[in-house]
Structure 1
């Protein structure tokens, strides 16, 4: 296994071994096979809110360019998603530098709440960093993904942080979205059940056995460190989505054969003939 790079194909991310050219789908793209009907309602509501909150501006644009006004409104959810993704990416970069022990000076005001809350987390939980931002790769099930961190935590018998507690190896994910969703369990189960950890230089090591998983949910208002199930039952759901991804991208294109019988004459009724 050599270095790993990523490519985008038809809206999905694939991880590619630079030496063998082996290509496998990313964990997030596989989880996107889950139906999300609530997104339709969310996008419609955001479009309506954008129109109401910018009524005069939208009307002004529409007077000069009706198509432009329509594009402005229909892309409201895309602009919001890109903005949130940029904030999330910057916050993830900040978290990695902080947990690696880098001294952090002033940050952009938008990031300051995230910095402050992550510093509180480090003080309260006292995690030891084992790995960060490496690739989890599964030979057995053909998928890969980049995980946020593997931490060693000292916990008491109730699972609470305790500097004198027993060490636990924990797969960890940082989330900066408004809410934490159950799909994070599928994501981290996929990472934890992969075969290999691959470093940026292409070095690979066997994936260790984990004592559990946690998600650190940070928003401008506060933070929570939440345990997450990554057991065999959860992993089997992810593998089902892996098979759905295979169906969607490959198998579905092979199931319909060429017609073995057909007809081209259309029935013409007497009424149709008389009306000509």
Structure 2
């Protein structure tokens, strides 16, 4: 049986417009240049292109460093919410461990699934989600850590970035509207009916659990990006055909030929 490969949810969302990126790239480069002016000048005197590449890579290096911390924090959160006893961690992760422990104490969620794959044959995409949680809420929608409220099944996502952004709704709606969930051992189950979704925004200084819309309207925007993804990766490569007429080559006169 041939192996089926679908694009990832984050790759699909990545084809959407990112108007904030060029100014951010420029700011990161400018800040690095100002903060390390003497170093960059010395580098440029020895290797101008190396100095250019160093400044150009400012945003990429920052993004990679943040991604590394985020991956380690996600691993830590999963182990903590599964009840594993955590020993010593890297100093960079200590504040994340403290904030996540505060979240667990204040909300007291029950983990249903973690790091499984949401798979859609209907719309041909897949992606690994952070967690499915049961959270008990009172009439005002506030968590009741003693679990005295009404249980709600939530698609959950952990974010360790500087802020939370609207595209998390696209991401979570895709997971929640998939056809099935695939566990690490290969077993599958239908995607359950969710009562909602929430993103846990957690930084070294604070944490906040924020409800997220994942309704049909939001999912429709994700599906529009799914179509754009196909355009970018496949269809756009088929629309331009070889020329059926073109200008003639530059005229070479007899005088020019004799002069060669």
Superposition TM-score tier, normalisation by shorter sequence: over 0.9
What residue number does 2:256 align with? none
| TM-score, structure 1 normalization | 0.88
What residue number does 1:156 align with? 138
Asked if 1:68 corresponds to 2:50, the answer is: yes
Q: Which of 61, 68, 75 is equivalent to 1:93?
A: 75
Distance 2:247 2:38 in 1: 56
User: Deviation of residue 20 (structure 1)?
Assistant: 3.1
Distance 2:239 2:47 in 1: 45
Q: Which of 145, 168, 173 is equivalent to 1:189?
A: 173
Distance 1:239 1:111 in 2: 36
What residue number does 2:3 align with? 21
Asked if 1:166 corresponds to 2:166, the answer is: no
Asked if 1:54 corresponds to 2:69, the answer is: no
Q: Which secondary structure state, in structure 2, belongs to the residue aligned with residue 215 of structure 1?
A: strand
Distance 1:145 1:61 in 2: 42
What are the residue-to-residue correspondences of 1:250-269 with 2, within 5 Å?
250-264=234-248
Return the structure number with greater strand share. 1
Distance 2:133 2:2 in 1: 31
User: Deviation of residue 260 (structure 1)?
Assistant: 3.3
Q: Which secondary structure state, in structure 2, belongs to the residue aligned with residue 89 of structure 1?
A: helix
What residue number does 2:196 align with? 212
Q: Which secondary structure state, in structure 1, belongs to the residue aligned with residue 6 of structure 2?
A: strand
What residue number does 1:239 align with? 223
Q: Which of 102, 116, 119 is equivalent to 1:134?
A: 116
**TM-superposition CA deviations, 1:225-254 (whole Å, max 9, x none):** 000000000000000000000011111111
What residue number does 2:64 align with? 82
Distance 1:243 1:264 in 2: 39
What residue number does 2:126 align with? 144
Q: Which secondary structure state, in structure 1, belongs to the residue aligned with residue 92 of structure 2?
A: coil
What residue number does 1:113 align with? 95
Alignment gaps of 5+ in structure 1: 1-18, 269-276
User: Deviation of residue 109 (structure 1)?
Assistant: 1.4
Distance 2:239 2:138 in 1: 54
Distance 1:49 1:242 in 2: 36
User: Deviation of residue 72 (structure 1)?
Assistant: 0.8
> What is the aligned-residue RMSD (CA, Å)?
1.4
Distance 1:120 1:267 in 2: 78
Alignment gaps of 5+ in structure 2: 253-260
Asked if 1:41 corresponds to 2:23, the answer is: yes
User: Deviation of residue 101 (structure 1)?
Assistant: 0.2
**TM-superposition CA deviations, 1:157-210 (whole Å, max 9, x none):** 221112211111000000000000000000000000000100112111111110
Q: 1:164 to 1:244 in 2, by over 3 A?
A: same
